[in-house]
Structure 1
Amino acid sequence: MKRLGAWALAAIALAMTEPCSTAAAQDWKALTRADLASAAGLIRDNHPAMVPAIGDKDFVARFDASLAKATARLDKVEDADGMAAVLRGFAAGLGDDHIAWAKSGGGQLKAWPGFVVTRQGQDLLVTITGPGAPPAGAKLVDCDGVPAPALLRQRTADRVPDPDIDAQLTINSIWVVLDDGNPFISRPRTCRFQAEGHMLEHTLAYRPATPADLQRIRDERKFFGHAGFGVRQVGQAWWIAMESLNDSAPAVLDAAKARQAQLRTAPLVVIDLRGNGGGNSLYGDRLAEILLGEAPLKQVRSGGSGRACAPVWRASPDNRKTLDLYAAKFADDADAWRMEAARMDAALAAGQPLTGPVDGCEVVERRAPPPAHPLFAGKLVVVTDVACFSSCPLVVKRLRSLGAIQVGTATNAPTRYMEVRAIDLPSGLGRFTTMQKAAVSSPPMIGPYSPDIAFTGDISDTKALEAWIPSAVR
C-alpha cells in the first residue's frame, strides 16, 4: 500500500501566488535555511533509505548532492519565490515523486506569456493560446537557441524527480513557458515554432496571471482525465470508474459486487483509473477478486522466486505516531497496525533502525503468463494516464499480471518506499513529505507502465474513449 491521497496531484495543481505577510523581506534567507534543515532532518531521521542496511547508496548520494545544491542556493534567496525554488528543488533532487515540498495554501503561477505548451507524445505543442500568440497545435522547436527537449528538462529541473519518466515530464511540461518566479532558472525570451510547414519566431511578453487565466489553464491542460466513481453499462461493455483508491473506492466495490454476475458474463469490462493518484492498493485486489475470483489472484500473489522479505518500517518516534493514527483510522485493519506498532516499539527499545531484518533479501517478481480465470470469460481493460501514481501503478501491475489490456497513456512510477507522511516546516509557509516504509523485496521502481494500446486523442474525453476502446481491443 502507498497512502497518498490528494498529495499525488499536488505537482499538477496550479494556484495563484498570494503575497506572504508573515515574514519580513530580510528574513527569507533565515526562514529558508531553517525549513531546509527541517526537511533534510525529516528525511535523514525517518526515511528507510537512509539506513545503511537497506543498501540504497543511490538514494543517499542523491540526498547529499541535492542538499549541497540547495545549501549553495541559500545566499541568493531574497523572497518567497527563492524559498520555493530551494525547497522544491531539494525535494525533486531526491528522485522520488512522493517526496515533495508544497506551499501552504497553494501558490505557484505568477506570470504567463498568453499561451501554454504541453507535452503531447515527444513534442511540445501549443495547447492554450490567444491573440498575438502562436497558433494552437504549433510545435515548439527551441527557445533562445535551446532545443525543445533540452528546454523541457531545464525548465522543470526543480520539479521533476526523474526526467526519464515520461509522465513526470508531461505533467510538468506546462512550466516550460509559465513562470513560477524561480530565480535560479531563466524563463524563455524568444522561441521558434513550426506551424503548418512554416517556422514562426515569437518574443514572449509575460504578464501577471489573472484568476481567469488560471482557470482557463486548469480547464484546458488536457494531459490527464477524470474517471469519476461508479459502475455503468456502455453498450455491451461495463465500465468501473475509480479515480482514487481512497474513501470513495469502497462504494465502487460494493456496486461491482452487486453486479458481479453481469460483470463476469460481459464481453468487455473496462477499469477506468484516469486521474488516480493512489491510496490503498488492496482495493484493486478486491476488485480483481470480484471480477475473476480468488484463485487467479492467489496464484499471481504467490508467484516469483527468491528469498522474499516482509516490508520494514524505519523505526523513529515520529513514524511510530503514524501507526497509532492508522490503527484509529482504519478500524478493519486495526489489529494489524497494532502488531506493526509493537514491532516498532521493540525496535526502538533495542536501538534498531528498522522493524525487521533485511539481510539476504532478494527482489522477487513473478514472470509467468497470466493465470486462467474461468469465472470471467470476457476481455479486461484498464485505462491509465500520467496521473496514475503511488498505489495506482501497483494496481495496474496486478491487473496486467492477471491478463488485463492496458490502454491510454503511460503511468508514473513510485519507488519501493511506502507510507507518505507530511510535516509543517518551521516557517509555517510549506509542508514536506517523507516515506516511512520499505518493500525491500520489490524492485527499486514500480513502473512506469506503458499501454499495450496507446490512445493518442484527448485522454480527458470520456465519450471518445468509450467509442474507441471496443474496436481498439477487438
Structure 2
Amino acid sequence: VVLALAAFSAPALAQDAAPTPAPENWGTALAQDAQAFHDAIVDSHPGPVDVENPGFNPHLEAGLAEALERARTADSYEDWYFALQEYAASFNDGHLSLSGWAGMGHVWTAHWPGFLTGLRTGPDGERHEVVFSRDPAAPPEGAVLIGCDGRSAGDLAAEMIGRGAGRWSLPSRRAIFASTLFVDQHNPWVRRAEQCEFRVGAETRPYQLTWRELPDAVRDEGFAAARSPRFTAPIELRAWSGGQWIGLGGFNGDPASADGMALTALQSAVEARADEIREAPAVVFDLRGNGGGSSAWINALAATLWSEAEVKARSPEAEAVDWRTSEKNLATIEEYKVLMGSNPEVLAWLTAIADGLRAAREEGRPLWRQPDEEEATAAPPAGPSPMKARTWVLTDSGCASACLDAVDLLKALGATHVGQETSGDTAYMEIREEPLPGGRVVARIPMKVYRGRPRGDNETHVPVHEWRGALADTAGIEAWLAGLDAAAARR
C-alpha cells in the first residue's frame, strides 16, 4: 500500500471561526513560531536522526539562529512572514513547509517599476525578458535583463525569489515564480533592484527603476503575459482521435473528497472498459494540474490495464522505508485508522505501522524500519503485455509527490513522457500537519524517509517531447500528440 496521507489531517486542524488576532509584538511572534517549527522538526522529522544526512541538523540550527536574529528587529507582518517562509524554504523540500498562514488583519500591497519580466529559454539558456510594460520610460517588451546593482540576472532572481520559493535549482520552480522578479511585496530581508541593465536589440542600456503601487488588476494582466497558468485536467476517461484519454488532475487520498469520488468512478470505468483501452492505438495519462496525493490511484489503474504482476515487476521501488517514531507521528497514524477504517487493506497497513512505531518507541529507537511485505522483485510475466496501446504521460511543471510516483511507474511500464519538465521532491515523505502555538501558521512535517529510492532528491522528469504552448489548450495538445503518436506508429 502506497499512500500520501496529508489530505486526511484536515479534521484535526479545525480552528475557531474567530480570526487570529495580530500579535502585540511581531518579533516575539517570529521567535515563537520559528522555535516551534524547529522543535516540531526535531520531534517528528526523520532528518534529525538520519545518519545518512549529516548536514540536516547544522542546517536546521543555522536556520533557527537566522530567524531568531531577525526577530530582534521584526515589527511587521512582512518581517514575520518572509523570515519564516525563508526558513522553511531553505530545506529545499516540498514536503517540509509552512502553510495556513493567518491573515491577522494584514492587507498585502505590492509595488513595481512599470514592467514585468518572464522567464524564457532558448539556445543560450534562460533569460529574464520584459513581457509586460506600462511605462514608456521602462525597458521595452523584448528587452533582456543583464543584471541590477552589481548582481547578475540569475543571482538577482535567486536572491529576490529563490530564497523564499526554495528548490531554486529546479527549472520548474524558476519558471513558476520568475514573473515575480520585479514585484516588490516589501520583503525586508532582500534588497530590491534600483539600477538595472537590459539588452535592447544589440545595445546595452541602463535603467533607473521607479517603483510605484501595483494594482491587482494590472498585476494579474502582467502575470498572464509572463507565464502559462496551470490547468487542471478533469478526472475522466474519454475518447480522443488517437484512442483513449485518462484525465488525472488530482490524486486526493480521501475517497470522500470530490477528486476521490471522481477517481473511484474512473477506476470503475477503466475496469469496465479495460479491454477496449488496452487495444486502443494510444492512451494518454493526463497529469496536468496534479500536485500529488495518494499513489494508490495510479497503482490501481496501472494494475487494471497492465496486470498486477507486471506492475509489481516493473515498479521502481525504494530499498527500505524508515519511520520517525515520535508520539505525534504515532497519534497521527491512529487518527488515520479511524478516518480510513472502512478500507480493510489500508486499515491493515496503518495498523502494522502503528504497532511498529509503538514497539520501537518502547525500545527507545528513533527510527522504525517498515517490513517489506512484498515478494522479491520478479521478472515480468512471460508472454506479451496485455497493454497493447502506445502510452503517453503528459505533465506540467507542478507535478510533484504522488504525481512523480505516477510518472516513475508509467515510464517504467513503457510510457513516453511529454509536456513540461516536472518538479522534484526528496526522500522524506508522508506529511502530517501541526498548528504551531498561537494559531498563526501550520507546520507540515514528513514522517518517513525512503532508502535507496531510484529517483534522487529533487530529481525531475524531463519530457522526451516538450510542450511550449498554453497548458489549457487541450485541443492543441491533442493535435500535437496525434502527430507524435503517428510518428511513433510508423517506427
The answer to whether the 8 A contact 2:133-2:140 is kept is: yes
CA distance in 2, matches of 1:154, 1:20: 31
CA distance in 1, matches of 2:464, 2:133: 33
Instruction: Please tell me whether residue 345 in structure 1 is matched to residue 358 in structure 2.
Output: yes
The range that moved more, 62-71 or 381-390, is 62-71
2:130 counterpart (122, 126, 132):
126
- 1:215-235 deviation digits (Å, cap 9, x = unpaired): 446655315332232122221
What's the CA shift for 1:446? Answer: 5.8
What's the CA shift for 1:279? Answer: 0.3
CA distance in 2, matches of 1:413, 1:371: 34
The answer to whether the 8 A contact 1:244-1:278 is kept is: yes
1:403-414 matched pairs, under 5 angstroms? 403-414=414-425
Overall identity of the aligned pairs, in %: 27
Instruction: Please tell me whether residue 394 in structure 1 is matched to residue 405 in structure 2.
Output: yes
2:231 counterpart (225, 229, 248):
225
SS in 2 for 1:383: strand
TM-score (norm 2): 0.82
Unaligned runs of 5+ in 2: 10-18
The answer to whether the 8 A contact 1:20-1:80 is kept is: no
What's the CA shift for 1:103? Answer: 5.3
2:16 maps to which residue? none
CA distance in 2, matches of 1:372, 1:118: 50
Counterpart amino acid of 1:76?
T
CA distance in 2, matches of 1:466, 1:396: 19
Instruction: Please tell me whether residue 163 in structure 1 is matched to residue 163 in structure 2.
Output: no
Counterpart amino acid of 2:481?
I
Instruction: Please tell me whether residue 451 in structure 1 is matched to residue 463 in structure 2.
Output: yes
Unaligned runs of 5+ in 1: 8-18
TM-score (norm 1): 0.85
SS in 1 for 2:39: helix
2:323 maps to which residue? 313
Instruction: Please tell me whether residue 286 in structure 1 is matched to residue 300 in structure 2.
Output: yes
The range that moved more, 193-202 or 338-347, is 193-202
2:38 counterpart (37, 40, 54):
40
CA distance in 1, matches of 2:387, 2:119: 38
What's the CA shift for 1:357? Answer: 7.6
CA distance in 2, matches of 1:281, 1:270: 18
CA distance in 2, matches of 1:254, 1:378: 20
CA distance in 2, matches of 1:465, 1:195: 33
Instruction: Please tell me whether residue 432 in structure 1 is matched to residue 477 in structure 2.
Output: no
CA distance in 1, matches of 2:402, 2:144: 34
CA distance in 2, matches of 1:233, 1:126: 40
Instruction: Please tell me whether residue 378 in structure 1 is matched to residue 389 in structure 2.
Output: yes
1:472 maps to which residue? 484
Counterpart amino acid of 1:148?
A
SS in 2 for 1:439: strand
The alignment covers a number of residue pairs equal to 451
Counterpart amino acid of 1:185?
V
The answer to whether the 8 A contact 1:84-1:103 is kept is: no
CA distance in 1, matches of 2:201, 2:473: 25
Counterpart amino acid of 1:273?
L
Counterpart amino acid of 1:123?
R
What's the CA shift for 1:455? Answer: 1.7
SS in 1 for 2:331: helix
What's the CA shift for 1:93? Answer: 1.5
CA distance in 2, matches of 1:264, 1:470: 18
What's the CA shift for 1:23? Answer: 2.3
What's the CA shift for 1:213? Answer: 3.8
1:11 maps to which residue? none
What's the CA shift for 1:47? Answer: 0.3
CA distance in 2, matches of 1:408, 1:111: 34
1:50-449 matched pairs, under 5 angstroms? 50-52=48-50, 54-102=51-99, 104-105=101-102, 110-121=110-121, 122-130=126-134, 132=136, 134-195=139-200, 199=204, 201-213=206-218, 215-216=220-221, 221-222=227-228, 224-246=230-252, 247=257, 248=259, 249-301=263-315, 308-309=319-320, 311-330=321-340, 331-332=342-343, 333-356=346-369, 374-443=385-454, 444-445=456-457, 447-449=459-461
CA distance in 2, matches of 1:401, 1:456: 25
Q: 1:195 to 1:225 in 2, by over 3 A?
A: farther
SS in 1 for 2:284: strand
SS in 1 for 2:367: coil
